[in-house]
Structure 1
Amino acid sequence: MRARRVLLSTALFSLSLLAALSASSCTEDKQPPVENPPEQPPPPPPPLQITNPVLPGDYADPSVVRVGDEYWASATSSEWAPQFPLLKSRDLLNWEQVGHIFQTPPEWSEANYWAPELVVDQGRTFVIYTAKKKGGPLCVGVATAPSVSGPYTDRGPLVCQELGSIDGAMIRDENNKLYLVWKEDGNSRGLPTPFWAQPLSEDGTQLVGEKKAILMNDVPWEGQLIEGPHLIKRNGWFYVFYAGAGCCGKGCNYGVGVARSKKLLDGWEKNPLNPIMKNNESFKCPGHGSVVTDTLGRDYFLYHAYRVTDSVYAGRQGVLDQITWGEDGWPTINSRRGVGGQVLAKPPAWSDEFTTEMMTQGWQWPNGRKPMTSISNGVLTLAPPADRAMDMMGGVLARSSPSGNYTAVAILDRTGLGAETAAGLSAFGDPENAIVVALRGPKVELWRRQGNAQQLVTTVDAPAAGDTLHLRVTARTGYLFQFAVSPDGSTWTNVGGDQNGEFLPPWDRAVRVALTVGGAAGASARFDSLRITPE
């Protein structure tokens, strides 16, 4: 009997234990699952380590687009040919010139090749540019290409207002309609400078419909003008980045502004914190650029500025900064402290030994004065156009100076040089303003040309020995020059002492290093190399 009670108690305990375990299991099954902590967004990519200028030398009004993982840029060429350099980069920091938009100028144009705006729209490539019409005003023109790499076909001028039309840009409105936006150049007559917007044909080659003014220079910092519009869309807003005040020369006071609107044609408001870019201790007069989004989604502004240490003599150089977007939707650049990044200590040296039959990229000549050139066996033969042969600097082949402090050395082949031919190396502003050291017969001459008035500064005997003559120009602070010659590149004879070249740069351009030839019918000269070493 007692054994049965023990067994019964044991059975009841077991049943109770099973029930408890079952209840516990049910309770556990009904408990909500443990939630993982919310996934954190990835940290933003680190900013580029920028060293400015990213485009040392004369690269005013730069424009940039991204196609895939490549970046393409162009810039003003002004009175230099070929028109509009075409550059390529993989990282926005290191650029290689690969060609030009135009190898010969558009037939309708004659001067003032400014502000090429690269546009990729629905798989089509455009460049909107400024040029002066033959016998007429400044115009906005358009060219098209199968890809950004070219070749580009000019489609002629889009608009030529009597006061001048410059700085064109292309954008689609909120209804996906294609528009041209440009500046009317009223400041040339002391008048306001509206930004106009007008519909374009779908192929982008002609204006249709009516134009409408969307923005005007109307706040004090903008002075007599606004210009250089570049438009983007972001988060339901249109933004226009633009420049205000004076772009160029020692008295420049340029700055960068931005305005926005929900609609392209109405409701524009300017950032109350404009200008968002002004001078700092390293760069002055920043402005006229374009926005590009990199492969990681970061926005950058490629624009120009004068480097303070180079003043105007190296030109308006290409600089880059990241754009930061605030919670209020307005962009800022380097916290409004001017051009950011590290300052380039010294641009790399450059040289051309003429080892290929084709001219390397980057050589230039004055508009309408293309010299005759050929390369054979590592020697460049340079000759002026026939109608410039008697001008001692009738044939010009030039490179942009990368800074205000440099030494340039050209090696001239003396064999076969005509007795009256002058072959030289020049600090060259334009055809009317230059300083040149040149070999002519048994003499080395130093000439100054200012306002097209030419003066022989000095003459020295040329070194008697050797088939080559080294010609050297040294620049300091952009405008102080010394010239010298050597039979071997080791022993130098100074020619003419210190030369002040403050008069050299035109209003909107840099001083260049140029090989020159002329002074006689049939003049030509042979050069073995040119090397430019920044210091």
Structure 2
Amino acid sequence: MVALALIGFAPLTAAGQAKKTPAKHAPAVKAALPIANPVLAGDYPDPSVTKIGNTYWATATSSNWGPTFPLLKSTDLQHWTLVGHVFPGERPAWADYYFWAPEISQSGGKTYVYYTAHKRGGNLSVGVASANKPEGPYTDHGPLVGQPAGSIDGFPMQDEKGQPYLIWKEDGNSVQQPTPIWAQRLNAERTALIGEKTDLFRNTAAWEGNLVEGPSVVRHGGYFYLFYAANGCCGTGCTYATGVARAKNLLGPWEKFAQNPILTKNDTWTCPGHGTAVERNGHWYMLHHAYRTDGFAQVGRQGVLSEFEWTGTGWPKFLNNHTTPATPALVPAVVADEFQTTALSPDWEWPVEDKPAFALSGGQLRLTAKPTGGGATIGRTTLAARYQATTTLLAPAALPAGTVAGVAALGDPNNSLNLSAGDNKLRLWERRDGKDRTLAETALPAAAALRLRVRALGNGQFRFAWSPDGTTWTDMLPTSETANGQFLPPWDRGVRVGVVAQGPSTATATFERFELNNEK
């Protein structure tokens, strides 16, 4: 469950009434965090957070990138370390894609992740996995609910009697219908639904548009508070915002706040929503996603921490409208991988439906080529609107006939920008909606190794260059031209940058060192 330690507030009885605690026993409230957003730089939509012991654990949507569902930990909600994934190898057998909205919680010494995925031969469903410790390994228990219109955004919560429930959204907007938020009892193992479901509320206010979703519930002052997102989540035309409703009992009746939405866009962040409320040192926060307003749509929805307080009327109020922009963001200037281990760093990702074959040895990454679908690709989430990524391709002239390999900006298997070597030439090409087109090409330089570089200039514009020594660089396009990558990001995720190998499955491309330089 969400961490519910109400430090500085009176504890609740099972009936939801506040106990009278002598003031001398109430711990002092410590100073609030000096928030530097994004706390999760990169593409981390629908983030979830809970406190287990002295550590905060978080996860987020991975959509159609594998491994599935990142696992991050922190001691202060500000500095996070990626330690692995809920499903680090194969995705659950019952699902094929759209791995969305994982909700991490702790109960009875076990860690649970309730998540959304598309059921093979079916529709979107809410599933659950559990582990004996938050870092895993996790055992999948399959889907709990999958309504005809789709079921997404599962959130576990105990009612006023301590009974476990699952709260989720029926995806009615996918079929031009309303979007009820449902609640239904969980079994004692928290792995199946029992009893009848209850409709808590649905989209009825004008600002909510065609949906309400992403429920997150906390208990405070005798009420359950359900934070939710509404309207359009994604892309440059998004209209997302956050509202709240409250009820004395988990099954209602629920009252929406008259002053909704309570979390909206500002000059720094836009379309804030779908997060989890959490308490630290007597202060309350929500870890949610938002887009940077200054050309960061290609990065994706990043993890933003926003503080709120409880007002005299009992409703939450966000402070400084979800950001402290005076503090610089925690985006590293340089991220490099020397490939010195035998296991790929958890920062690397691949298409979830088509994991490529690769191996690491002696500071080299060997990527097995794939003949179709844009080739075999692995990438890393981008952290800034402007960056450059470089890697070294070894023995480009020795690649088998029909094999090309190089550096790429990756949207999905059908959309990418690539600079590749092979077949006696260097070629800059785009793959758009599954169709390949050459943008520029030149004769393959006579070099034992080639440095390849992609540079993002912002606003979806890219430049590509090569070097035989890492010192003298030659651009593939004239100075006045760029490669237009505005088509790259899918509607629900950001662009990755990485390497590609296209050709017969008997061919292998070898890379050394991958470096990502971020411009703040």
TM-score by structure 2 length?
0.92
Establish whether residue 469 from structure 1 lines up as the match of residue 450 from structure 2: yes
Q: 1:42 to 1:214 in 2, by over 3 A?
A: closer
Residue 219 of structure 1 aligns with an amino acid whose one-letter code is A
What's the secondary structure of 2:173's corresponding residue?
Answer: helix
* Match 1:334 to one of 316, 319, 327: 319
Q: Which residue is equivalent to 2:37?
A: 52
Which residue of 215, 231, 256 maps to 1:270?
A: 256
Q: Distance in 1 between matches of 2:111 and 2:141?
A: 13
Residues 202-250 of structure 1 show CA distances to partners (whole Å, capped at 9, x for unaligned) of: 1111111000100111111100000000111112211111101000011
State the one-letter code of the partner of 2:352.
Answer: N
Q: CA deviation at 1:273?
A: 1.4
Given candidates 393, 400, 403, the residue that maps to 2:381 is 400
1:525 aligns with 2:484: no
- 1:68: Cα distance to partner? 1.7
* Corresponding residue number in structure 1 for 2:140: 154
Aligned pair 1:423/2:405, yes or no? yes
TM alignment of 1:101-116, pairs within 5 A: 101-103=86-88, 104-116=90-102
> CA contact under 8 A between 1:127 and 1:142: conserved in structure 2?
yes
The 3-state SS of whatever aligns with 1:435 is strand
Residue of structure 1 in register with 2:464 after alignment: 483
Measured in 2, the distance between the counterparts of 1:410 and 1:344 equals 28
SS at match of 2:294: helix
Displacement of 1:340? 3.6
Deviation at 1:344, TM superposition (A): 3.5
TM-score for the superposition, normalised by structure 1? 0.89
**Corresponding pairs, count:** 491
SS of the equivalent of 2:56 reads strand
Q: For the Cα contact (< 8 Å) 2:99–2:118, is it kept in 1?
A: yes
Q: Quick one: higher RCO (CA 8 Å, sep 6+), 1 or 2?
A: 2
Gaps of 5+ in 2: 1-22
Task: Give the whole-Å Cα distance in 2 for the aligned partners of 1:41 and 1:263.
Answer: 26
Tell me which protein shows more helix as a share of its residues.
1
CA distance in 2 between partners of 1:446 and 1:331 (Å): 52
The residue aligned with 2:328 is: 344
Once the two structures are overlaid, the 10-residue window that deviates more, 344-353 or 195-204, is 344-353
After superposition, what is the alpha-carbon deviation per residue over 1:102-126, rounded to whole angstroms, capped at 9, x for unaligned? 1211110011100000011232211
1:513 to 497, 502, 514: 497
Q: Work out whether residues 373 and 413 of structure 2, in 8 Å CA contact, stay in contact via their aligned partners in 1.
A: no
Q: What's the secondary structure of 1:88's corresponding residue?
A: strand
Q: Quick one: which amino acid aligns to residue 83 of structure 2?
A: V
Partner of 2:4: none
Residue 445 of structure 1 corresponds to 427
Q: Once the two structures are superposed, what CA deviation does each residue of 1:295-336 show, in whole Å capped at 9, x if it has no partner?
A: x2322210000011233200000000122111211111125x
Of 110-119 and 340-349, the range deviating more from structure 2 = 340-349
In the alignment, what sits opposite 1:76?
61
- Mapped to 1, the partners of 2:25 and 2:129 lie a distance apart of 47
Q: What is the 5 A alignment of 1:25-424?
A: 44-103=29-88, 104-294=90-280, 296-335=281-320, 337-342=321-326, 344=328, 347-348=331-332, 349-384=334-369, 389-391=370-372, 393-414=374-395, 416-424=398-406
Letter of the 1:311 counterpart: F
Letter in 1 for 2:451: H
Shift of 1:442: 2.4
Name the residue aligned to 2:485.
501
Based on CA coordinates, which of the two structures has the bigger radius of gyration?
A: 1
1:508 counterpart SS class: coil
Going from structure 1 to structure 2, the CA distance change for 1:340 and 1:259 (only over 3 Å counts) comes to farther
Question: 2:515 matched to 1:534?
Answer: no
More moved, 454-463 vs 136-145: 454-463
Q: Is the 8 A contact 1:141 1:158 kept in 2?
A: yes
CA contact (8 A) 2:56 2:73 kept: yes
Q: Structure 1 regions of 5+ residues with no counterpart? A: 1-37
Q: Distance in 2 between matches of 1:83 and 1:392?
A: 21
Secondary structure (helix, strand or coil) at the match of 2:40 reads: coil
Shift of 1:382: 0.6
Alpha-carbon distance, 1:452 to partner: 0.8
Q: Is the 8 A contact 1:392 1:421 kept in 2?
A: no
Are the equivalent residues in 1 in contact too, given 2:37–2:329 (CA < 8 A)? no
In 1, Cα distance between equivalents of 2:329 and 2:121: 44
Please tell me the root mean square deviation across aligned C-alpha atoms, in Å: 1.7
What CA distance in whole angstroms lies between the structure 1 residues aligned with 2:309 and 2:373? 53
Q: Percent identity over the alignment? A: 45
Does the Cα contact within 8 Å between 1:313 and 1:404 map onto a contact in 2?
yes
Distance 1:279 1:462 in 2: 48
| Stretch moving more, 243-252 or 416-425 | 416-425
| Cα pair 2:97 2:353 within 8 Å, conserved | no
Partners of 1:176 and 1:344 in 2: CA distance: 42
- Displacement of 1:482 in angstroms is 0.2
Secondary structure of the structure 1 residue equivalent to 2:43: coil
Shift of 1:478: 4.4
- Displacement over 2 Å in runs of 4+: 38-44, 337-346, 415-420
Deviates further, 257-266 or 116-125: 116-125
